[in-house]
Amino acid sequence: MKSIFDAAARDELVRRASRLEPGLKPRFGRLNVNQMVVHCTGGIQMMIGELNVAPRPGPLSNPLLRYLVIHFLPWPKGAPTAPELIPPPDAGDFKKNLAELQSAIARIGAKKPESKFAPHPAFGEINGNNLGVLIARHLDHHFRQFGV
C-alpha cells in the first residue's frame, strides 16, 4: 500500500499534482479543481497541526473499521467531510493553492511515521503508518477525480 512517507509514492503524487490545471472538470463530486486542491491541502494541514478541525465522533474511530477503511475498502465518492475542509467555490489563486498543496505534501513527507500527529476528526487517534496510507489514498482519490 502506498504511503505519503515513502519517497517514491510522494514524488509520484507531486508529479500528478503538477498535471492539475484550472479548467479540469471533475469526473464525480461537487468540488471544482481549485476547491479540491485547497481541500487536500487542508487535510494534510489538519494532520500536522496547522489547521484545527472539530472532532466528528462516529464508527470510524473503531480500530478494526478504521483499518479496513484506510487499507482495503474502496474509497467512497461523495463521502461527507469536515465543514472546515470544504472551501468556497472561489478558493483563491489556483497556482498559489497548488504550490501550497505541494509544500504541504513535502512538510508531511519530511516527518516520520513515528511522529506525533493530530487526531483525525473522524478516525480519531491514528498512527503514522495508517496516516501515511490514508493521505496517499485521499490524494489519489481526488487526483483521479480530475483525471490525473
The three three-digit cell numbers of residue 130, written as one number: 495508517
What pLDDT, on a 0 to 100 scale, did the predictor assign at position 84? 95
Cα gap 108→5, rounded to integer Å = 8
Helix (H, G, I), strand (E, B) or coil at 19: coil
User: Tell me, what's the pLDDT at 76?
Assistant: 85
> Mind giving me the DSSP string for 88-144?
-SS-S-HHHHHHHHHHHHHHHHTS-TTS--PPBTTTBS--HHHHHHHHHHHHHHHHH
Q: Is the model's pLDDT at 75 over the cut of 90?
A: no
Cα separation, 100 vs 66, whole angstroms: 28
Which element (helix H / strand E) includes 8? Answer: helix 7-18
Please state the rounded mean pLDDT for residues 99-112: 97
The confidence band for 23, taking pLDDT boundaries of 50, 70 and 90, is very high
For residue 79, pLDDT over 90 is answered with no
**pLDDT value, residue 47:** 97
Residue extents of the structural domains in the chain: 7-145
Q: How far is CA 65 from CA 30, 57, 147, in A?
A: 26, 13, 29
Burial-class residue 78 by CB neighbours within 10 Å (0-12, 13-18, 19+).
exposed
pLDDT band at 57 (very low <50, low <70, confident <90, very high): confident
Q: What is the mean pLDDT of the chain?
A: 95
Per-residue confidence (pLDDT) for residue 97, from 0 to 100: 98
53 touches 116 (CB < 8 A): no
Find the mean pLDDT for residues 53-57: 92
Query: Is it the case that residue 108 has pLDDT exceeding 90?
Result: yes
